[in-house]
Structure 1
Amino acid sequence: MSQRHTGITDQLTPPVDATPHSHPLADCPLREVLALIGDKWSTQVLVQLGAGPRRFTELERAIEGVSRRMLTLSLRSLERNGLITRTVHPDAPPRVEYATTPLTNGIREPLEALAAWADRNRPAIAAARRAYDTHH
């Protein structure tokens, strides 16, 4: 793990002498978690990384419509929150890979199920929107 990533462990691990509620993540409400993984791009990144480590350009090609800037911001947020890792391999040129962490394992199956549901129901949702827009 590079020096850049050592701060994540400190962010997720409360100090030994801390009381359970003194650490900022001790009381992690559902809305905070949903904001973290439920934004437009983070869920897609996590689903893509569920198949294994990927490079930035592989993710960029796999996620339709994502800009380089939004992918970068999503990756940084997921890394900061301990859901993915960023590994720099000292090749020439340097190769950077992103992968999920063990913390992500518990959410992988529900995310994949949600992605499958969205894919199956996209036509029905589009039809409902058209019907609503026609009547309103």
Structure 2
Amino acid sequence: MTTAAQFPPYGDFEADCPARMAVDLFANSWLPVVVYLLRDGPQRHSELLAGAGGISQKMLTQTLRRMERMTLVRRRRYAEAPPRVEYELTEVGRDLLVPIHALGAWVERHGPAVTAAMYGEPLG
């Protein structure tokens, strides 16, 4: 069992509450996907697009820009013709893999029960 993080007292999800930032990070459904795709090292936009399955080019660009502003990814542009751009996780972004892996483990344990409850299917 994990212990809850200890934060200074805040009102229920006030704007500066750290829990609100965490919820916001995972509310963007593509952000954790892109972080996970970048776990093994830098990738180009086209590689991320192919790996994400279902994300539009526009949404990937918006997600990467947002992640860059949040210091989760670093954009590296190479002076080549044609120009080559790669994205890689920063230390902050790599650290986000910890809760992503924890969430994945939770889904492994409880996903079948949640799916059964949502769709009215009997368990195993």
Structure 1 stretches lacking a partner, 5+ long: 1-26
1:61-82 per-residue CA deviation (whole Å, 9 max, x = no partner) reads: 1112111111111111100011
Q: Which has the higher helix share?
A: 1
1:22-42 per-residue CA deviation (whole Å, 9 max, x = no partner) reads: xxxxx5521123213442100
Identity of aligned residues (%): 40
Shift of 1:113: 3.0
SS in 1 for 2:117: helix
Structure 1 counterpart of 2:62, one-letter code: L
Match of 1:90 among 66, 75, 79: 79
Match of 2:104 among 101, 107, 115: 115
- Matches of 1:70 and 1:120, distance apart in 2: 30
The answer to whether the Cα contact below 8 Å between 1:88 and 1:94 also exists between their aligned partners in 2 is yes
- Higher RCO (CA < 8 A, seq sep 6+): 1
Structure 2 stretches lacking a partner, 5+ long: 1-15
SS in 2 for 1:50: coil
SS in 2 for 1:71: helix
**1:32 counterpart residue number:** 21
SS in 2 for 1:111: helix
| Equivalent residue runs for 1:33-52 within 5 Å | 33-52=22-41
Structure 2 counterpart of 1:70, one-letter code: M
Q: TM-score scaled to structure 2, two decimals? A: 0.73
Structure 2 counterpart of 1:99, one-letter code: E
- Matches of 2:97 and 2:42, distance apart in 1: 14
